[in-house]
Amino acid sequence: MTNKPLLGPRKTKDDKKLHWEGSSEHLRKALDLSKIVTRRFQLVALSVCVGMAAIVVRLYTIQMLKTEDYAQKLATYTRRYQTVTTPRGEMLDRNGQVLVGNKQRLNITYFPPQGISDEKEWELARRFSTDYEVDETQLGTRDLKDLYLSLHKKEIDAERITEEEMAAYYKGDLNDNDIYYLELARITEEDLQTLDTDLRKAYVVKQAMDMPSSGQTKIIKSDVTVEEAAFLIEHMEEYQGFNVDFDWDREYPFGTMLKSVLGTVTTSKQGLPSEDLDYYLALDYSRNEKVGRSGLEKQYEGLLSGKRSVYDLAYDENGTGYLSEVNEGSKGYDLELSIDARLQQKLDEILTQVLTEYKDDPLRPYMDRIMYVLQDPNTGDILAMSCMIRNADGSISASPTSIYTDAYAPGSVVKGATVYMGLDQGVIQPGEKILDNYIKIKDTPIKKSWKTLGWVDDVQALAQSSNVFMFNVAIRLGGGTYIENNPLQIDANTYLLMRSYYSQFGLGVLTGIDVPNEAVGYMPGKLANAGNTLDFAIGQLDNYTTIEL
């Protein structure tokens, strides 16, 4: 008996035929590959046809049914806008007098025509420098080297950059910036002398034309005369991309009066300050836009700057850009100050006169400045504030910001607060007399009043400016006992109590005056000894601003 395989073919007499034994029914059927391949091909073909049909329907929808919608979207996405700064708001005094206004001026501007070449721009720059007065003396050595390099780069690279340096460049040890500085270093003073005046003038214009401006027009010449503007308009066909535009500058009817308080505005050439560049760019300012740089101009930039005009930039058939208004701008808000301009003007004159009159007075050898603040006692409004300083050369200059930024030892001004503090704390009694002689602490100089006053009470101490009376208030506040020529021990934290009382009178506390950069003064940390506390009681330690005083 032979063993038969359970699965698999078994040969018969006809070796070409296979018979299956023990297999399932579906394995006995012949494998029909042609049917399977045909079916799969049909499925793939059907999928491709469905996909193509979907694409055709979508294309028909986009190109035929929604042509206008998508054309509008394309125009919106590719549209270039230009913003134009409107005049800033004015600053007025309490009576409506203009302290800071605007003066209109004419500028010649340039916007690159579409597809203009560098050679064409050089041609325009040369023509402009011939027809208009251009100051080439503003070019520095670096500017002239850049000009020479732009004209002779191939020559410099071939003759003045060594093979070793070029090998290092190709190797990656030197980059483009390194080669650039090597090129500049190899340009000599003799090379710069070959650049004639006409070429230098043209380069000044070309620099202005190349100035990056975030797509805005570039100012080529500012504050031009009516005749200069008219000449450009008459020869506009020769100056493709050039135009005449209106701009404005700040003007000050009262001259330099309060100038440092009012602040300054950048020019179009200066543009956005580098320290605030990211801030203004985030607010959609242009890089060459004029903004407040200091003082109230900067503090109220958001109100004074107003709403900028927005224009749509397009090009005509000649490639020249032109603007059509999209959003109309508006002038900035006016800022009304509490200052009385006429009163301020008079106060400045008086302080200048006093400084001049007493400049050689032997009784006032250190009087080199006078500060004065005039306020409305009912509202606290500052009507005028002036600081006049006599300089080393004898000239007198105004520094009104010193009123709230510079700090000084107040001296006897604080004695009223010291007496109030002593009475409120109960360490002295109304009418109590204290001997004004002198105080001598061990290992320290004698501390006394301007003269020996004898027995004085609180009122007399203020009337005669007694230092010794104030010393005794501080000693009692600190729980000390004075014994002549012995060490003086008082509570080390007494000065904190004293500062809390002085702050009730506005000393060492910001007043909140509506100007930037108000200072609080100078107040040292923990006092080193009891003598410092005594000095504090007569205004010879902490420093305060004039506006606080």
pLDDT digits (tens, 9 = 90+) for 122-146: 999 999 999 999 999 989 999 999 9
Residue 9, pLDDT above cutoff 80: no
- Structure confidence at residue 244 (pLDDT): 87
Alpha-helical regions (H) of 375-414: 402-405
Kindly state the average pLDDT of the residues 78-92.
Answer: 77
Q: What is the DSSP letter of 267?
A: -
pLDDT digits (tens, 9 = 90+) for 344-381: 999 999 999 999 999 889 999 889 999 999 999 999 99
Element (H, E) at 52: helix 33-60
For the ranges 103-112, 144-153, 182-191, 533-542, the lowest mean pLDDT is seen at 103-112
Alpha-helical regions (H) of 94-196: 118-131, 141-159, 163-171, 176-185, 189-193
Number of CB atoms found within 10 A of residue 33's CB: 7
Tell me the three state secondary structure of residue 184. helix
Kindly state the average pLDDT of the residues 213-218.
Answer: 66
Tell me the three state secondary structure of residue 27. helix
pLDDT bucket at 6, cuts 50 / 70 / 90: very low
Q: Mean of the per-residue pLDDT values for the chain?
A: 86
Q: What is the DSSP letter of 65?
A: I
> Rounded CA gap, 220 and 232, in Å?
12
Residue 342, pLDDT above cutoff 50: yes
What's the alpha-carbon Rg for the chain, to the nearest Å? 43
- Structure confidence at residue 8 (pLDDT): 46
Task: Please list, in sequence order, all residues whose beta carbon lies within 8 angstroms of the beta carbon of residue 348, skipping any fewer than 6 positions away.
Answer: 257, 386, 388, 398
Determine which one of 214, 222, 309, 412 is catalytic: 412
CA atoms within 13 A on the CB side of 540: 10
Q: 412 catalytic, yes or no? A: yes
- 74 or 107, greater pLDDT: 107
For residue 222, give both structure tokens: 């500012």
> Rounded CA gap, 389 and 369, in Å?
4
- Structure confidence at residue 65 (pLDDT): 73
> Rounded CA gap, 499 and 505, in Å?
10
Percentages helix, strand, coil for the chain (3-state, rounded to 5) are: 40, 15, 40
pLDDT bucket at 328, cuts 50 / 70 / 90: confident
- Structure confidence at residue 47 (pLDDT): 85
- Domain spanning 411-545: CATH superfamily: DD-peptidase/beta-lactamase superfamily (3.40.710.10)
pLDDT bucket at 440, cuts 50 / 70 / 90: very high
Residue 528, pLDDT above cutoff 80: no
Beta strands, E only, 197-255: 218-224, 242-251
Residue 19, pLDDT above cutoff 80: no
Element (H, E) at 436: strand 434-436
For the ranges 22-31, 133-142, 339-348, 537-546, the lowest mean pLDDT is seen at 22-31
pLDDT digits (tens, 9 = 90+) for 444-493: 899 999 999 999 999 999 999 999 999 999 999 999 999 999 999 999 89
Q: Is 315 exposed, middle or buried (0-12, 13-18, 19+ CB in 10 A)?
A: middle
Residue 293, pLDDT above cutoff 70: yes
For residue 287, give both structure tokens: 């890089």
% of the chain at pLDDT higher than 70: 87
Tell me the three state secondary structure of residue 337. coil
Task: Please list, in sequence order, all residues whose beta carbon lies within 8 angstroms of the beta carbon of residue 459, skipping any fewer than 6 positions away.
Answer: none
> Rounded CA gap, 2 and 496, in Å?
118
Element (H, E) at 548: none
- Structure confidence at residue 483 (pLDDT): 92
**CATH fold match for the domains 81-336 and 411-545:** no
- Structure confidence at residue 26 (pLDDT): 53
Q: Which CATH number fits domain 81-336: 3.40.50.620, 3.90.1310.10, 3.30.1490.20, 3.20.20.10?
A: 3.90.1310.10
Q: Report the predicted TM-score, pTM, of the whole model to 2 decimal places.
A: 0.68
- 29 or 70, greater pLDDT: 70
> Rounded CA gap, 313 and 239, in Å?
19
Residue 280, pLDDT above cutoff 70: yes
* Residues pairing with 23 in the sheet: none
pLDDT bucket at 35, cuts 50 / 70 / 90: low
> Rounded CA gap, 375 and 385, in Å?
9
Closest CA to 505 of 424, 423, 420: 420
Sheet containing strand 382-390, edge to edge, reads 369-375, 382-390, 396-398
Closest CA to 319 of 241, 245, 244, 242: 241
Q: Is 458 exposed, middle or buried (0-12, 13-18, 19+ CB in 10 A)?
A: buried
CA atoms within 13 A on the CB side of 55: 6
| Contact yes or no for 110/244 (Cβ under 8 A) | no
Residue 10, pLDDT above cutoff 60: no
Tell me the three state secondary structure of residue 67. helix
Closest CA to 456 of 440, 473, 442, 441: 473
pLDDT bucket at 94, cuts 50 / 70 / 90: very high
pLDDT digits (tens, 9 = 90+) for 376-412: 999 999 999 999 999 988 899 999 999 999 999 999 9
- Structure confidence at residue 325 (pLDDT): 66
| Contact yes or no for 241/120 (Cβ under 8 A) | no
Residue 284, pLDDT above cutoff 90: no
Closest CA to 258 of 97, 90, 399: 399
Residue 188, pLDDT above cutoff 90: yes
Number of CB atoms found within 10 A of residue 227's CB: 7
> Rounded CA gap, 195 and 206, in Å?
15
Tell me the three state secondary structure of residue 360. coil
pLDDT bucket at 39, cuts 50 / 70 / 90: confident
> Rounded CA gap, 412 and 420, in Å?
14
% of the chain at pLDDT higher than 90: 59
Residue 432, pLDDT above cutoff 90: yes
- Structure confidence at residue 338 (pLDDT): 96
Residue 321, pLDDT above cutoff 90: no
Residue-range domain boundaries for the chain: 81-336, 341-400, 411-545
Beta strands, E only, 423-513: 434-436, 454-456
- Structure confidence at residue 48 (pLDDT): 87
Residue 15, pLDDT above cutoff 60: no
Residue 535, pLDDT above cutoff 80: yes
pLDDT bucket at 219, cuts 50 / 70 / 90: confident
- Structure confidence at residue 510 (pLDDT): 94
